[in-house]
Structure formats: C-alpha cells, structure tokens
Amino acid sequence: MPGTPPGLDPAPPQPPHAPQGPATAPFYDGQRYDATDSVGYRLFRVVTAMRREIDLRMAQHGLTDAQWRPLWLLKIGRASSPQELARELDIDGGAVTRMLDRLESKGLMERVRSQTDRRMVMLQLTPGGEAAVQAVPQVLAEVNNQFLQGFSQDEWLQLRGLLGRMADNAGTSAAGRSSQP
C-alpha cells in the first residue's frame, strides 16, 4: 500500500516461515555447480565457526562439547532419557552410554530408574551439573549476538524465517521423512 511505512503493512501478519510456494526454477544446476557458492556450504561454514567459538568460550568454564550439550539438553527438558539424548545429539546408543559414563563419573548427572517403569532409565542433573550448566545460556547468547553483529531486528527476523523454511523443507525431503518416526 503506497504511503505505508515499512513494517506497518496492513496485511495480516504471517508466521516467520510461512510457505511461499515453489520456486519457478531450480537455484542450482549440476553442470555448473560451485559448492563454495551454495547455501549448504555457507551454512556449514557459519555453523563450524560458531561451534569453534562456543567451544573456546565453554572451555573457559571447564566444559567440553561432549559435556555442555547433553547437560544443556537435560536442563531445558529436551531430553530426559538416554534414547532422547541420542536422538537430540544424533549419535548412536553406544556413544551415549560412554558419554553418560563420563558425565556421571564427573558428578554432573546421574541415571535414575523410573518410578513408573523400572525398565526405563531417566537422566537428571546433579547439583554439580546444575552449577556447570549455568554458564551455557550466556555463552550461547554471546556467540549468537557476535555472529549477528550489524544485523537489524528485521534482518534477524527474516533470517530466522528463511532458516525455518529451509528446516521445513528438510522435513518434507526424502532424507527428512526417513528420519521421522
């Protein structure tokens, strides 16, 4: 609508990653594909750089990637059993068992039998784990803010929306469907 200031569009608001319909043509052509110019490669580079920075900052708090990630997932309720932790971390059951053994030996978490189903093992943070995980949200916020330096609020929202749409597309791809329950 002419004369309407940006951000005050009278159209009803859409969710940040509302489907926009298919593109008219593919963005990439296999005959002229340059991996270094692909969105996937650029996302990989950003995630790799963020993980390195997070690792450096977590090390200042005495935490490794294999420690802070499972502790944080337990803290925020995204996992409460070894199976859920394996799914969230995308690692196999044997690796989870070894990781939990190390976390338990350091006094950061413990395995507890479920009161309702004794076959189930639940995971819970110990007081030491609670203390260790306290630095995690601050570090994650600082690193995210560092990588978003110079972005406007609108750009940040747009980026979140676009990444959300890509994640939605991943859920409808053959690979995404095969990993769904």
Q: What is the pLDDT of residues 151-163, one digit of tens each?
A: 999 999 999 999 9
Q: What is the pLDDT of residue 3?
A: 45
Structure confidence at residue 2 as a pLDDT band (50, 70, 90): very low
Tell me the pTM.
Answer: 0.76
Structure confidence at residue 20 as a pLDDT band (50, 70, 90): low
DSSP 41-60: HHHHHHHHHHHHHHHHHHHT
Q: What residues does each domain of the chain span? A: 38-140
Fold of 38-140: Arc Repressor Mutant, subunit A (1.10.10)
The answer for residues whose C-beta is within 8 angstroms of residue 107's C-beta and 6 or more apart is: 126, 128, 129
Look at 37 and 54; give whichever has higher pLDDT.
54
The rounded percent of the chain whose pLDDT value lies above 70 is: 82
Q: How big is the chain, counted in residues? A: 181
Q: What is the pLDDT of residue 171?
A: 86
Distance from C-alpha of 3 to C-alpha of 31, rounded to nearest angstrom: 45
Distance from C-alpha of 93 to C-alpha of 154, rounded to nearest angstrom: 41
Q: What is the pLDDT of residue 141?
A: 97
